[in-house]
Structure 1
Amino acid sequence: MLSYEYNLADGHAYRGWSPQEQAVVDSTPQKFRQVDRRQQDTIEAEYFETFYELAGQTLDTGHFSRFPCFTASAGIEIIANYLRLRGLSVTLIEPCFDNLKDILMRHQVPLEPFPDDLLEADGDELLAFLEQVTTDVLFLVSPNNPTGATAQRANFERIVQFCARTGKTLVLDSCFRFYMPDDQVYDQYKILADADIDCIVIEDTGKTWPTLELKGPFLSVSEGLVADISHINSDFLLHVSPFAIDLVTDFLRTSVQDCRGHIRGVAAQNRRVLHSELVGTFLTPVEREHMSVSWLRIDADVTAREVVEELGRDGIHVLPGNEFYWTDKSVGDSYIRVALMRDPEMFVKAAAQLGETCRRLTKAVAR
């Protein structure tokens, strides 16, 4: 647990509950008494149905099997075991959150970079890059953490069609999908099923709802990979808590009712507050505005670690950009990441202190 007064490092959701979410929390004692493991199949089925409805995705039980996990990182660990056992190489998105590349590297999976701006590049530029890919697997994150770069429908279809034509496997981390604007949501699962490629989609709720680490991550696995993933998965866990899944389902239902308005509203409100405090500093926001974190470029002769250390002295914890880059960590010297999913009242104070610290540092650097 970080001891800083303002923890803006962790990308999970630590904010107050909406009135609808508070009602869900108030119901937990009764839920705890009522939920029974014998209801596991029904509880999980209702969860998946609600999840896919909120995500705007097709729940295709014929093409995909779902494997609940304790954490999304545990799911990545399962995938990494599969990649290692099969001797597969990976083209991995960059930048990306450090535990993703750390897990793959620990399993000695050969890695090549996929620059995340290609997700939003011109179609010809994306295809030109894909034609040079020699690895067995594409491992992408969309929306990407930390930049928010996102594959729109046309480029997603290009990537899927490339995998279908070349026999490559696609691993897609969609853990930040619920922050996407409505006009950018499209049915990825239908596109994947229609192409009939080998693929795994990583899903999560911990980045979106404040459920004190009770969450509902899972892997959606295409049928051609189910046997291998199932065998590895069974070594990690037999089942997840039916209470946790039922609780998370109720949280998702609150977002179905308000069309994701509250979760997206908190991120947008805190982003506005942060950006206003950055005026007159050397920090420039460069993330996509639907993302639940802010990716800030340092436009001064100071490194990310120096900025992080200075902020830490004033009780604010943010992440330096270095660990998001795995081919050349020095590229991350020019970035820091600030988590936005915090209580707005607390975030106003944290952003004000962050701005004050950076304005002071701006003057010091200019001397």
Structure 2
Amino acid sequence: MNKTAAPLADLTQYEMVALESSHNLADAHAHQWQSAAERDVIDMLPKLWDESQTLTQAELDRQFLQNFFDFHGQTSMAANEGRSWLSYAASISMGIIATHLRLSRKSVTLIEPCFDNLYELLAHNELEVSSLPEDIVFKSPDAFAALALHEVGDALILVDPNNPTGSTSFVDDGERFRAIVRFCARHGKTLILDFSFASFLRGRRPDVYEILDDSGVTYLCIEDTGKTWPTLDIKCGILTVSADIRDEVRDLHTAVLLNVSPFAVRLLADFVTASKNDGFASVADVLDANRQVLADAIEGTELELVRPDSLVSVAWLRLHRGTATDLQERLAQHGVHVLPGTHFFWSDHRQGESYVRVALARDPEAFARSAAALRKVLTTS
């Protein structure tokens, strides 16, 4: 049996322990097997390698960005060059944003709950960070009015769809999102959006960059591939910014890195195309199947699924008895690893003691075994 010392310092440390287990339901990276279309890409690896050495980095980056934004329906940005830069991971993009906010001496309001490394990156830059409960932006009848009643810092950071809850502003043809943008534009707030889970909106996201640019708001947006495509953590983060801060953010970005591996960019471009060709079914179907298996596994136990606005690659579970800290440790002792809800509530861990998060992006057969192991602990301990 594996034992985890609890509580650990942050969620990533829980995920690191889980990597040692065959029942790793902790990290949200895409660990499922590749679809038939994606296996075709893998069969072409020697060809992709040679092309990566032949084409220029600029050509490869341009093709990847066009494929990526086209897949997400972001047509205005697919045709717009010079305001998007690549990095090895979304967290690198967030680190650059945190540096920009520190140099700009901005106070920050951050959505809660969210994955705690967002808060940590801000805190490490000695930024003043206040909490914004996600219901204010994602559940209030009038998001503009609700934000106006809340004390929002110089910069507002949202994760949309949110990790871990799946809550999103894209539930009404983008009207809620437009209200958030309108609030930030009118009140001079910098809007920072983490779209790392936006693939799972399944076509419900409008062209957000057109909305942002038309509003005149200052913005920074993060996109990511790592939560969507099973590429063994060969991934790419994308940072896109408004025209008014392009030069200053570009200088921060070039201080961090020159480029992402041309092979990684070439491979990811074809994975995106494969998903477009199969209608995203190879990813969405796996998540839907695993979500149902999980629902069956926890039936009659102290856990229940919280209904999400969007079917993201994680499940947020409410705990009716005991605490998340105790449950996570009990499961870990039997080799089953989930994330406690505590650290997602970065301003007060006690608020998360009634929740745990389960990752769904796993091979269905392996996930079924892990779900069975989860149920065994819940029903016998």
Q: Deviations over 1:17-36 (max 9, x none)?
A: 11111111111122112312
Matched, 1:144 2:162: yes
Contact 2:37/2:278 (8 A) holds in 1: no
Q: How does 1:306-325 map to 2 (within 5 A)?
A: 306-325=326-345
Task: Give 1:97 deviation, angstroms.
Answer: 0.2
Contact 2:161/2:198 (8 A) holds in 1: yes
Show the counterpart of 2:311: 290
Show the counterpart of 1:74: 92
Q: How does 1:175-194 map to 2 (within 5 A)?
A: 175-182=196-203, 184-194=204-214
Task: Give 1:92 deviation, angstroms.
Answer: 0.4
Distance in 1 (CA, whole Å) between partners of 2:342 and 2:131 is: 15
The amino acid of 1:120's aligned partner reads F
Distance in 1 (CA, whole Å) between partners of 2:356 and 2:311 is: 18
5+ unaligned residues in a row in structure 1: which ranges?
362-367
Q: Deviations over 1:338-358 (max 9, x none)?
A: 000000000001001101211
Show the counterpart of 1:154: 175
Contact 1:63/1:222 (8 A) holds in 2: no
Equivalent residue for 2:353, pick from 310, 333, 346:
333
Distance in 1 (CA, whole Å) between partners of 2:54 and 2:323 is: 51
Show the counterpart of 1:364: none
Distance in 2 (CA, whole Å) between partners of 1:226 and 1:287 is: 38
1:210 alignment partner, SS class: coil
The amino acid of 1:105's aligned partner reads A
Q: How does 1:268-283 map to 2 (within 5 A)?
A: 268-283=288-303
1:59 alignment partner, SS class: helix
Q: Deviations over 1:138-165 (max 9, x none)?
A: 1000000000000121111011111111
Show the counterpart of 1:349: 369
Normalized against structure 2, the TM-score is what? Answer: 0.91
Contact 1:273/1:348 (8 A) holds in 2: yes
Distance in 2 (CA, whole Å) between partners of 1:114 and 1:64 is: 32
Contact 1:146/1:287 (8 A) holds in 2: no
Contact 1:119/1:149 (8 A) holds in 2: no
Distance in 2 (CA, whole Å) between partners of 1:134 and 1:211 is: 38
Task: Give 1:281 deviation, angstroms.
Answer: 0.3
Task: Give 1:333 deviation, angstroms.
Answer: 0.8
Matched, 1:10 2:48: no
Matched, 1:237 2:254: no
Distance in 2 (CA, whole Å) between partners of 1:87 and 1:144 is: 26
Matched, 1:23 2:43: no
Distance in 2 (CA, whole Å) between partners of 1:261 and 1:146 is: 22
Distance in 2 (CA, whole Å) between partners of 1:134 and 1:208 is: 31
Contact 1:97/1:323 (8 A) holds in 2: yes
Task: Give 1:37 deviation, angstroms.
Answer: 6.7
Distance in 2 (CA, whole Å) between partners of 1:279 and 1:113 is: 33
Contact 2:144/2:183 (8 A) holds in 1: no
Mark the CA change 1:127 to 1:115 in structure 2 (over 3 Å): closer, same or farther.
Answer: same
Matched, 1:41 2:58: yes
Q: How does 1:216-231 map to 2 (within 5 A)?
A: 216-231=236-251
Residue range with higher mean Cα deviation, 268-277 or 286-295: 286-295
Distance in 1 (CA, whole Å) between partners of 2:260 and 2:301 is: 46
Percent same amino acid at aligned positions?
40
Q: Deviations over 1:174-225 (max 9, x none)?
A: 000111133x221211110111211011000000001111112110111111
Residue range with higher mean Cα deviation, 195-204 or 55-64: 55-64
The amino acid of 1:213's aligned partner reads D
2:318 alignment partner, SS class: strand
2:294 alignment partner, SS class: helix
Matched, 1:59 2:76: yes
Equivalent residue for 1:109, pick from 127, 130, 133:
127
Distance in 1 (CA, whole Å) between partners of 2:144 and 2:182 is: 12
Task: Give 1:117 deviation, angstroms.
Answer: 1.9
Contact 2:143/2:179 (8 A) holds in 1: no
Show the counterpart of 1:88: 106
Count of aligned positions: 359
Task: Give 1:64 deviation, angstroms.
Answer: 6.5
Show the counterpart of 2:281: 261
Q: Deviations over 1:246-294 (max 9, x none)?
A: 1001000011112211111111110000001111100011141511101
The amino acid of 1:8's aligned partner reads L
Normalized against structure 1, the TM-score is what? Answer: 0.94
1:236 alignment partner, SS class: coil
Distance in 1 (CA, whole Å) between partners of 2:101 and 2:53 is: 35
Distance in 2 (CA, whole Å) between partners of 1:64 and 1:172 is: 19
1:35 alignment partner, SS class: helix
Mark the CA change 1:37 to 1:119 in structure 2 (over 3 Å): closer, same or farther.
Answer: farther
Residue range with higher mean Cα deviation, 138-147 or 279-288: 279-288
Task: Give 1:122 deviation, angstroms.
Answer: 3.3
1:218 alignment partner, SS class: strand
Distance in 2 (CA, whole Å) between partners of 1:114 and 1:105 is: 16
Distance in 1 (CA, whole Å) between partners of 2:264 and 2:152 is: 41
5+ unaligned residues in a row in structure 2: which ranges?
1-15
